[in-house]
A and B are shown apart, each in its own frame.
Chain A
Amino acid sequence: MPLIAPRDHPPPGAVLDRLHAIHSVRGYLPEADLLTAAQDLAVPLSQLYSAASFYSAFSFQPRGRHTVQVCLGTACYIRGGDRLLERLETLLEVKPGETTQDRMFTLETVHCLGSCSMSPVVRVDEETYGRVKADRLGRMLKKYRLNGPEHTQVEEPVL
């Protein structure tokens, strides 16, 4: 820590910005990076930790190569999002928040991805899949196991 702190506070949003930057490079928040960030921003490590642990976007554990997010927003929930989650738990053999043994997938739930008109929705990394039915999940994961993402396609609407 410098003897005299550079300014009375970091610029608005700087702490979140830094945490996002670490997370996107490392895939999680390693302790060493948090220590450096605390020094750079001149905020106490305790404050940085309390902020980091408050938000659902940050993880202190290394994560899988792909993140599978099941949307449990209201529209997705009433159109069967919870059933998709249950199917994914069986397929991946993990619970939400956990990573598969081979470090390929981390399963997460999320409260609304804002694609409610396409509900139920599943997002794998940056790719959003709409109107998903349980019987499509196996094929979807297989594509990621093999190589890149499957191209998005419209499923028949749930009637």
Chain B
Amino acid sequence: MKMRTHADLERVRTKGRALLRPERPRICVGMATCGMAAGAKTVFEAMEEAANASGLDFMLIPTGCIGCCQEEPLVDVRLPARGRVLYARMTPEAGKHLIANLSALQFPGDHALAVIPDLDPDLPERPPELSRIPLIHDLPFYKKQHKIILSNSGLIDPRSMEEYAAAGGFRSLEKALLHLSPQEVVEEITRSGLRGRGGAGFSTGKKWHLCSQAPGRVRYVICNADEGDPGAYMDRTVLESDPCAVIEGMIIAGYAVGASEGYVYVRNEYPLAIERIRHAIEQCEALGLLGDDILGSGFGFSIQVVRGAGAFVCGEETALIASMEGGLAEPSPRPPYPAVKGLWGQPTLINNVKTLASVAAIVAKGADWYAGIGTKGNAGTVVFSLVGSVANTGLVEAPLGLSLNDMIHEIGGGGLGGRRVKAVQTGGPSGGCLPADLFHLPIDYTSLSQAGAIMGSGGMVVMDENTCMVDVALYFLRFTMAESCGKCTPCREGTRYMVEILTRITEGKAGPDDLSLLEEVALWVKGASLCGLGQTAPNPVLSTLRYFRDEYEAHVKEKRCPSGVCRALIRLNIVPELCTGCGLCLRECPVGAITGEKKQPHVIDPALCTRCRTCWDICPEGAVEIMR
């Protein structure tokens, strides 16, 4: 049925509320891509089978990302009149055990991570049998978070319009289309202080204003979901967990700038995100929330999904447009900016997934509310994927201005395995590495770029003493070299040249002048490249040279890799006293460099060894040492 009036929407909301607060057990399994990688599907299937066999009347829902990915697979259980509990590190057996307890209306204590206060005021805050389990907001991982973009993530069924509507969805759409003029929407977004969450941080309101004023036959809205930064998965999660929020933001954006066609350009590597956003678009079309005359406002809007094909440069807006037009996906010089002259030469608004997913909340709660979150000039919240050598990996949403220390040590719980955190990398291949003594810095656009990193799209990779900073710089430069489209010479040749110098350094073949040469080339590439990819490609080199020069010098002068990573500069050795002769390393060595009798200490042949460190990685006794 198509929705035409407020009453129609209210009927959908009532239906959704009954789904979110049912009179029977509601079991949500976190099944975004990372949950699946942790085995959520087998847990889901085991629970389904057990629940069917027990005759339990229940709802079993594959939901999106619950956030603390470290604890996956996660299961969120709500029992009517009893409460809500989050279970972590679930296995198929634990799932069956859980179902057996739920049949008796009991919450088992095993695997329980936290108690979740439900929206329903009638539900007790905490089931008495779980008096020792903390509330979710008291967990260090969640304590300093503030969820706006991720507020529905893991809470609602991402395939259900009803649940999205019941959780407050489409309120802003009604408000914007029926009660505000396009100019008023643009003004509201401008006043909120929202800045582009793709990385550059341009004022969203200003971009919308530019696009709405530019002359053109038609206008387009594009959602940039070509999340190419390695080590980042915020946009994927938003699309997988709450696709309707992105759609609602896009319709409002279309209304504000006067566009009737929208496109979501999604990275090819994200099949589930593509499936979820396509499904949500179909549902919105069926309900009349996409199409002609939305909610009787006279405004019409359509959305189509474009699937990328694996090219990092397509995250750059002019390259993305070229890719959609079907030609070579090469960037072109700006200005003209796409807001003035974009797809097929017409004014085109391109915003990141998270920017668009913030729009509905701003329209609903007002610009002043949003501007009050974060710090001056850096309003609102940002989503980070906190990964790498950190105890609590996961998806974090926090107000701008939170310190790196709070992010890494409080939310992240410090280094993995208790190791000392050495650096954090933000902004992917365009960003930089910041050392631990700068962790007092607030996370905002200005502070990070002054320190030589960038805010970026939200990737945050934590590194400890086992990470070599020269190797990291080489890793990123190899990446940008491979992804450089080849159109402009500074980027095409400069990245290659930097890779050559860095390779010499990591192989212990660098001369005394190589560091200054590397710096010089980096500055040339930064200054002379055509698009953002090339202009920011030297950042990983420049920031590591600035903060970790001692590591570079150890490689150049002493021919030593202090972190024990660079293969030409290390040697592996099995400590005979620790080796139990289990034979695991012998079987797994890719080059057969390890020999030894069963239950006798094994030996590595340095002539055959490629120093891949597989043995060091898998040895259950920690008997393999790295000689640096």
Spell out A's residues near B (CB within 8 Å): 9-10, 12-17, 19-20, 41, 43, 47, 50-51, 54-58, 72-75, 77-80, 82-83, 86-87, 89-90, 110-119, 121, 126, 128-131, 133-135, 151-154, 157-159
Contacts and interface: CB of A to CB of B under 8 A. Distances in A.
B309 A129 contact: no
A82 B610 CA distance: 12
Interface residues of B, number: 80
A74 B428 contact: yes
Given A47-B326, A74-B388, A151-B41, A112 B588 contact: no
Interface string B247-268: 0000000000000000101011
Given A74-B230, A116-B387, 10 more contacts: A16-B326, A83-B613, A86-B590, A115-B37, A116-B461, A117-B70, A117-B394, A135-B587, A154-B89, A158-B617
Nearest to B267: A114
B568 to A, nearest CB: 15
B475 A77 contact: yes
B618 A118 contact: no
Contacts of A131: 38
A57 B268 contact: yes
B354 interface: no
- Residues of B contacting A: mostly: mixed
Nearest to B33: A115
Contact of A118 (B69, B232, B324): B69
B389 A78 contact: yes
A157 B591 CA distance: 25
Nearest to A14: B326
Interface stretch (B156-164, B300-308, B507-515): B300-308
A16 B306 contact: yes
Given A72-B230, A154-B73, A51 B394 contact: no
- Most chain-B Cβ atoms within 10 A of its Cβ — which of A43, A79, A116? A116
Contacts of B417: 159
Given A74-B459, A113-B269, A154-B38, A12 B306 contact: yes
Contacts of A118: 34, 37-38, 69, 72
Nearest to B419: A159
Contacts of B229: 112
A73 B501 CA distance: 22
A82 B617 CA distance: 12
A115 B588 CA distance: 25
B351 interface: no
B369 interface: no
Given A75-B387, A117-B385, A153-B39, A13 B268 contact: no
Contacts, number: 210
B242 to A, nearest CB: 16
A51 B613 CA distance: 39
A148 B230 CA distance: 29
Contact of A12 (B228, B324, B393): B324
Contacts of B307: 13, 16-17, 20
A10 B326 contact: yes
Nearest to B388: A75
A58 B591 CA distance: 32
Contacts of B461: 74-75, 78, 116
A78 B312 contact: no
B309 A19 contact: yes
Contacts of A153: 39, 42
A89 B610 CA distance: 14
A111 B69 contact: no
Interface in B575-590: 584, 587-588, 590
B268 to A, nearest CB: 5
Interface in B473-487: 475-476, 479, 483, 485
B87 interface: no
Contact of B309 (A57, A128, A134): A57
Contacts of B416: 158-159
Contacts of B326: 9-10, 13-16, 41, 43, 47, 51
A107 B268 CA distance: 17
B612 A83 contact: yes
A56 B34 contact: no
Contacts of A41: 326
Nearest to A109: B482
B230 A73 contact: yes
Contact of A9 (B236, B263, B325): B325
A82 to B, nearest CB: 8
A12 B343 contact: yes
B192 interface: no
Contact of A50 (B308, B327, B590): B327
B151 interface: no
A78 B37 contact: no
B231 A13 contact: no
B370 interface: no
A90 to B, nearest CB: 4
Interface in B434-483: 459, 461, 463, 467, 472, 475-476, 479, 483
A152 B618 contact: no
A1 B220 CA distance: 30
Nearest to B65: A117
B228 A117 contact: no
B141 interface: no
Given A9-B325, A13-B263, A126 B271 contact: yes
B614 interface: yes
B479 A111 contact: yes
A112 B232 contact: yes
A87 B588 contact: yes
B309 to A, nearest CB: 3
A128 B37 contact: yes
Given A13-B324, A153-B39, A78 B306 contact: no
Given A57-B309, A57-B310, A83-B617, A112 B69 contact: no
B524 interface: no
28 contacts: A16-B323, A19-B309, A41-B326, A50-B328, A51-B327, A55-B308, A56-B311, A57-B308, A57-B310, A75-B393, A83-B612, A83-B613, A89-B590, A90-B591, A113-B33, A114-B227, A118-B38, A119-B388, A128-B37, A130-B38, A130-B39, A134-B590, A134-B617, A151-B42, A152-B38, A152-B42, A157-B70, A159-B416
Contacts of A51: 326-329
A105 to B, nearest CB: 16
